[in-house]
Amino acid sequence: MSADDARWMGAALTLAGRGRGQTDPNPSVGCVIVRDGRVVGRGWTQPGGRPHAEAMALIEAGAAAKGATAYVTLEPCAHVSPRGPACADLLGAAGIGRVVIAHIDPDPRTHGQGAARLGNAVFLDGRAAEAAHTMEGFFSRLARGRPHVTLKLATSLDGGIALTSGESQWITGPRARAHGHLERARTGLIVVGRGTLEADAPRLDVRLPGLEARSPLRAVLTRGAAPDGWLTLPSPGAIARAAVDHVLVEGGAGAASAFLSADLVDRLLLYRAPILIGAARPALGDIGLDHLADAHGRWRLADSRLLGSDRLDVYERVRD
Ligand SMILES: NC(=O)c1ccc[n+]([C@@H]2O[C@H](COP(=O)([O-])OP(=O)(O)OC[C@H]3O[C@@H](n4cnc5c(N)ncnc54)[C@H](OP(=O)(O)O)[C@@H]3O)[C@@H](O)[C@H]2O)c1
């Protein structure tokens, strides 16, 4: 496997990120078709999951696909669906000379069969972990029967999420809030607790220019009934029934604690503003912890950056 293969696969992985949150319940896949060192086709999974990345890239490549190399972040599908042909057949019919795949498809309808049908496919194991990352929601559904869950918290330096009066708008600045909107655009469903719905009446839509159409579904965690326009989530575990790959929990403390107690949080987004607010509502309540030792080793820092004057720390749940 050459350095060029790894580089082109990097481009396909970047394209895969474009569909995240839009392709549920299908994974978001990226595809780049390269001929004589030049990209002749690019594709990513379209909203609703079809057409697939390979079909889009092949349309762009046209006749230039013949003899070219296709880089795909997930093994091309082997099954024909009422919504489209099998991508392994499409690539074969277009005369693609070689197919480089970052990750095998865990879906039993394809698992290994897409690559076998192609006959000219190779796996680029070195980028499999990154590919899995771009499809973590889809993989979570297949492996654990539930979507991937991100918990977002915006706190002061001393860990408050609101004044004791309940006022929480705004703790963080515009760049951190814009980043939060980008996270919304990359998710299928946003959840808030009933307390937050009543305190803040949040819209939970995406207000970034050009991405307004990517606003996700909204749900309220409540043992009661959600108002019109909102889905009711009767318990954190009920996310398993939502036909989405990614869920974003936006608080407040009750909802955040409920998801953590159920060990349903895979990723934490901690936006921390350089302010002290003293007596305040804490970010979390009881999360079912008996011993401090049990709190250690659960979270791994995956990213840390400044957004204006706020700091974003991204943590991933360490699971065996
Ligand atoms: N800074 C931030 O990042 C941020 C983000 C969001 C909110 N906030 C602030 O947080 C405050 C609200 O927090 P909060 O803790 O009072 O309310 P909350 O977490 O928004 O909502 C609590 C409600 O969630 C439901 N709930 C909790 N656990 C549940 C479970 N296991 N199963 C089913 N339903 C469950 C219950 O609703 P029912 O009683 O209806 O059953 C509970 O009353 C507000 O001041 C808001 O401004 C801050």
CA of 11 to the centre of ligand 1 (A): 40
Model pLDDT for residues 74-114, shown as the tens digit of each residue: 999 998 788 878 999 999 999 999 999 999 999 888 999 99
Q: What is the pLDDT of residue 125?
A: 84
pLDDT of residue 1: 67
How far is the centre of ligand 1, averaged over its atoms, from the C-alpha of 157 (Å)?
21
Q: Is 163 within 8 Å of 155 (Cβ atoms)?
A: no
Test site for ligand 1: of 153, 158, 161, 239, most ligand atoms within 8 A of the Cβ: 161
What is the side-by-side strand order in the sheet with 38-44?
Answer: 38-44, 30-35, 69-72, 98-101, 121-123
- Residues in the chain, pLDDT under 70: 1
The two three-digit tokens of residue 157, written as one number: 């330096």
Residues in contact with ligand 1 (CB, 6 Å cut-off): 153-154, 161-162, 166, 168, 171, 192-196, 199-200, 221-224, 234-236, 250-255, 258, 281
Locate all alpha helices (DSSP H) within 53-121, ordered by sequence. Answer: 53-61, 87-93, 113-118
Count of H-run helices and E-run strands, the chain: 9, 15
Pocket test for ligand 1, best of 153, 168, 230 (most atoms within 8 A of CB): 168
Catalytic residue set: 54
Q: What pLDDT was estimated at residue 108? A: 87
Tell me, in angstroms, the distance from the centre of ligand 1 to residue 227's CA. 15
Rounded to two decimals, the pTM is 0.93
Please state the atom number of ligand 1 nearest to the C-alpha of residue 261.
31
